[in-house]
Chains A and B, each alone.
Chain A
Amino acid sequence: MVLAMHAPDGFLNPGTAVVTAVISMVVVGFSLRQARAQLSERAIPLAGIAAAFVFAAQMFNFPVASGTTGHLLGGALVAILLGPSVGTVVVTIVVVVQALVFADGGLTALGYNVLNMAVVTSYGGYAVFRLLRKVFPSTTGGVVGATGLAAWASVVMAAVAFSIEWLFGATAPIPFDQVFTAMVGVHSLIGIGEALVSAIAVGAVLAARPDLVFGARDLDRAQLEESRLPRTRTFVIGGVLVALLFATVVSQFAVDNPDGLEAVAVDKGFIDSGSDSAMAGSIFADYATEGISNETVSLAVAGIVGTIVTLAVAGGIFLALRERRGRSPAPV
């Protein structure tokens, strides 16, 4: 968690910082317009209070294991409660204020910090949520379950996004597949806490004010009242199983393939030429020293997961657009 968030200045190379800053600015600019359209003149107080809520929730520690604690990131949670555009705006403001007012996270690192923590978690998490809502029953349990899995996926997607940025902007000679395996592995565990707390929080909001859950506006009150929440323990066990399964699959993918490719590289006799290519001074120096075999696999892995995450984020943005059009103005 610590590595994906609040990265300091110079953690990734300048090119990556600039490109992610441009992407973040475009998406956040779009989200601001969407948020204004969705909330009209209520946008300022409501999104402001929601941002304060996310900020406070990030300080509120929950137990993880034997005295250690974790805290919520909240991107997917706010996206499900308030919609992905408002969610992105809210978490972006939290991240920017943390950097500018609390010196937490670098000012020149805002591009990738906002992209990973706000854009990917909100839009990506919301897209996963909507996808799961199609599969799960239209009940409280369905919404709560979809929230949990979407919150878990949002944390993992943030880790994936960071790993891919590392592929292009690494400042240290650690190959992409190692960073990817470590980041995704650690975050698929951290994600369990995020999933649990987000799911139960949405369950609590559904019980008190179901009209406040953006992602469950289609449910009618009668359905909500008769269904009950799943138990906490069911969640934890389910979450651990999914995370372990995922981590196993990912580690196989990331660790076994380079070995296979390295064998090919040795056969072809170019593994030596690959590992000698040190180009000190260039921005991409560290990346290039990884050698050919890693680079190829890295690009393949990055390409595939990158596409999935981008699709999810794009899907979230698309959903945000479509739902705006089909929505009548909310009562004040």
Chain B
Amino acid sequence: MGAGHAHALYVHEHSPFHRLVPEVKIAAAVGMITCVAITPRQEVWAFALYAVIVMVLITISRVSPLFVLARLAAVAPFVVFALFIPFIGTGDTTTLWGIELSIDGLWATWNIIIKAVLGASISIVLTATTEVPDIIRGLGVLRVPALFTSIATFMIRYLELITEELGRMRVAMTARGYDPRWLYQARPIATSAGAMFVRSYERGERIHSAMLARGFTGEMPIFDRRRAGPVEWASAALLVSVFAVVALLAFTTS
């Protein structure tokens, strides 16, 4: 409830990106976003090019542009922060509609917003075309420690359940006429968080016993699955190198 994290962003579709092996997609996304992040901010044309490529990627992924826009809300607080910078920034100023604005600050606003939006859009394409367990498995192939990916898998498996349980506690409180408005009334919510921890922990212990009963030895079994072929890696490398060339050109012209 509340912050809207409860459901993954996966969009069920059939596109080349949906079929791509997850580790290739993750590596490509990180590569592309890195290029965007290091591009000098005054090279506006470079960001325009990135934006065009990202729009092409969104089209290929068959994810609706409106869906991407809606999901971009995650960067909204930073956009708001960025919009304040020209008013409080230092350095040379310019006057726009009678208001003094910091030039450097305006560049900073542009820099933060464009990089946040491009980065988040690429991430959204990744998450919209890859199912959650596949993302985690992809991380494993990319040499993230097995303990880390196993814990993450467990977290995702039980996230919905625990969120629901917390939601039910909240509903139960509301049903009994409890509607706190001030921080000093937060005690029941805090105690239910504590109760929730105990329940979660005990559930973890039960799951552990059940796993032991099924022959668990401390490592999660790895199932055979399709590995990325040279063609897939090459296409990802091509995509990233397009971004890299743009970034490089931006550096040379700046």
A and B bound?
yes
B34 proximal to A (CB < 8 A): yes
A264 proximal to B (CB < 8 A): no
Task: Establish whether residues A60 and B151, one from each chain, have CB atoms under 8 Å apart when the complex forms.
Answer: no
Task: Establish whether residues A3 and B81, one from each chain, have CB atoms under 8 Å apart when the complex forms.
Answer: yes
Instruction: Annotate A1-44 by CB proximity to B: 1 below 8 A, 0 otherwise.
Output: 01100111111001001000000000011001001100011111
Question: DSSP class of B's interface residues: helix, strand, loop or mixed?
Answer: helix
Task: Establish whether residues B127 and A9, one from each chain, have CB atoms under 8 Å apart when the complex forms.
Answer: no
Q: How many whole Å from B156's CB to the nearest CB in chain A?
A: 7
CB contact under 8 A between A55 and B159, given known A9-B116, A49-B154, A204-B194? yes
Instruction: Annotate A94-114 by CB proximity to B: 1 below 8 A, 0 otherwise.
Output: 101111111111111100000
Interface size of B as a range: 35 or more
Question: DSSP class of A's interface residues: helix, strand, loop or mixed?
Answer: helix
* Interface residues contributed by chain A, number (CB under 8 Å): 97
CB under 8 Å from chain A, chain B span 23-58: 26, 29-30, 33-34, 36-38, 40-42
Interface stretch, picked from B12-20, B103-111, B222-230, B231-239, is B103-111
A117 proximal to B (CB < 8 A): no
Task: Establish whether residues B33 and A66, one from each chain, have CB atoms under 8 Å apart when the complex forms.
Answer: no
A309 proximal to B (CB < 8 A): no
CB contact under 8 A between A67 and B181, given known A2-B77, A48-B153, A100-B26? yes
Bound complex: CA of A72 vs CA of B205, how far in Å? 24
Bound complex: CA of A67 vs CA of B180, how far in Å? 8
On chain B, the residues within 8 Å of A53 by CB distance are 162, 196-197, 200
Task: Establish whether residues A32 and B145, one from each chain, have CB atoms under 8 Å apart when the complex forms.
Answer: yes
CB contact under 8 A between A45 and B211, given known A29-B145, A50-B204? yes
A197 proximal to B (CB < 8 A): yes
B183 proximal to A (CB < 8 A): yes
Instruction: Annotate B192-210 by CB proximity to A: 1 below 8 A, 0 otherwise.
Output: 1111111011111101100
CB contact under 8 A between A209 and B74, given known A17-B37, A51-B152? no
Task: Establish whether residues A108 and B112, one from each chain, have CB atoms under 8 Å apart when the complex forms.
Answer: no
B5 proximal to A (CB < 8 A): yes
On chain A, the residues within 8 Å of B211 by CB distance are 45
Bound complex: CA of A251 vs CA of B33, how far in Å? 37
CB contact under 8 A between A97 and B155, given known A9-B118, A103-B9, A173-B89? yes
Q: How many whole Å from A62's CB to the nearest CB in chain B?
A: 4
Bound complex: CA of A275 vs CA of B186, how far in Å? 48
Which of A93, A108, A172 has the most CB atoms of chain B within a 10 A radius of its CB?
A172
B96 proximal to A (CB < 8 A): no
6 pairs across A/B with beta carbons < 8 Å? A44-B154, A59-B5, A65-B181, A173-B108, A199-B190, A200-B194
